[in-house]
Amino acid sequence: MARVATGTVGQSRATLMKIAIVISSMGSGGAQRVVSKLVRAWAEQGHQVTIVTLNGAEAVSFFALPPNVTLIAANTHISKSLVKSLRSLRNLRHLLLGLQPDITLSFIHKANILMILALLGTGLKTIVSERNDPFRQPLSAVWTRLRHFAYARASAVVLQTSDVKRYFSAKVQAKSVVIANPIEAPATDVPYSKSNNTIVAMGRLHPQKGFDLLVAAFAKIASDYPNWSVNIWGKTPYRAHVADAIAAHAMGAQITICGETAAPFEKLGQADIFVLPSRYEGFPNVLCEALACGTAVLSYDCSAGPVEIIEHGVNGWLVDCQDIDALAAGLRTLMADASLRQQLATAGPAVATAYTLPTIAEKWLTLMERLHAGKTVQ
């Protein structure tokens, strides 16, 4: 049960809550990174936080967690097989009821579904969080039906962008709240020294991220800008399709796949231009981080997120999604105009303040407190 706060850590609150979070694992993914940030903020305020992982027999987190956050392995498993996944519901239900949380959250669609099904009839307050664009990442027919069934029975549904609301029924939309991802701020307020005509893109080297489209777009104008280069930073499991695109366009002299970096803000801040060429997004964290670093940004107007973050020509540059010619034209516009780049770069940090960890963590807590008090989402 919730308890009355006796002191303050961070922002003062009248009531401290027991918060349970259900997620497939605490590996190195984007949702897990978000969870690690949020629980740090909530634990600093004195909330009692427990993370329950569904996959694997051991409780392990890739990201550092505060010592007062509990990590438990439910010893269940999310499988492609619906039957195998549903068999774990009894164990999950027993574990969560034993925790007696004031609020139970879940992240990522299948974990969302299993959490809601496990807690049916318990009266516990539940929040599910959809982490990507369901228009572009469809589930199987059975899992899709279960998602609609489960989300309609959650106390609240958190979406990362308002555009995603259109996917769901009116009943789900009525209990939906848009809360973006938190971003980390650069470690320094001192402006980064810009590189020598460098374009940076960053993210998983997955077809979703559209790095092959960036390669094709840059290839159209590269001969006019021989002193410009493109550095692509990110995890390399899908490196081959990007490398193949670079080879196909004979861009090896100007485009480099750099791998992962332990200093993303430095790479983003030193760039003259940051490009987000994604085919679609859940929420483009790296776009906000580039804005926070004071770098001019160029982005496809993909679903979902960029159009809710960027005001074209004011704090960034938007072009039609998956249009290679439009992306090439956007690159040419920014590469040829240093004053425009400076204008966009100067406006970026103010935009990013809306996505700082304290701001986003507070939005979550406000929602949880409303539900705990017996109020509706809206």
pTM summary value = 0.82
Query: Residue 3 pLDDT > 70, yes or no?
Result: no
pLDDT of 303 over the 90 cut: no
Q: Decide if pLDDT at 188 tops 80.
A: no
| Tens digit of each residue's pLDDT (9 = 90 or more) over 68-107 | 999 999 877 666 666 666 777 888 999 999 999 999 999 9
Each residue's pLDDT tens digit, 61-72: 989 999 999 999
Does residue 22 register a pLDDT over 60? yes
Task: Please report, as a single letter, which amino acid is at residue 178.
Answer: V
* Percent of the chain clearing pLDDT 90 (strictly above): 70
* pLDDT for res 15: 80
Average pLDDT over the chain reads 90
Instruction: Determine the pLDDT at residue 226.
Output: 97
| CATH number of this structure's domain 3-182+357-372, picked from the four choices 3.20.20.150, 3.40.50.2000, 3.30.70.20, 3.40.50.11260 | 3.40.50.2000
Q: Is 198-353 the same fold as 3-182+357-372?
A: yes
Q: What is the mean pLDDT of residues 128-139?
A: 87
- Region 18-32: mean pLDDT is 91
141-182 residue pLDDT tens: 988 999 999 999 999 999 998 888 999 999 999 999 999 999
How confident is the model over 296-324, as a mean pLDDT? 94
Express each pLDDT in 27-67 by its tens digit: 878 889 899 999 999 999 999 999 999 987 788 998 999 99
* HEC readout, the chain: CCEECCCCCCCCCCEECEEEEEECCECCCHHHHHHHHHHHHHHHCCCEEEEEEEECCCCCECCCCCCCEEEEEEEECCCCCHHHHHCCHHHHHHHHHHHCCCEEEEECHHHHHHHHHHCCCCCCCEEEECCCCCCCCCCCHHHHHHHHHHHCCCCEEEECCHHHHHHCCHHHHHCEEECCCCECCCCCCCCCCCCCCEEEEECCCCHHHCHHHHHHHHHHHHHHCCCCEEEEECCCCCHHHHHHHHHHCCCCCCEEEEECCCCHHHHHHHCCEEEECCCECCCCHHHHHHHHCCCEEEEECCECCHHHHCCECCCEEEECCCCHHHHHHHHHHHHCCHHHHHHHHHHHHHHHHHHEHHHHHHHHHHHHHHHHCCCCCC
Q: Does domain 198-353 have CATH number 3.40.50.2000?
A: yes
219-257, pLDDT tens digit by residue?
A: 999 999 999 999 999 877 789 999 999 999 999 999 999
**Could you tell me what percent of the chain has a pLDDT over 70?**
93
Domain ranges of the chain: 3-182+357-372, 198-353
The confidence score (pLDDT) of residue 12 equals 52
Q: What is the pLDDT of residue 4?
A: 43
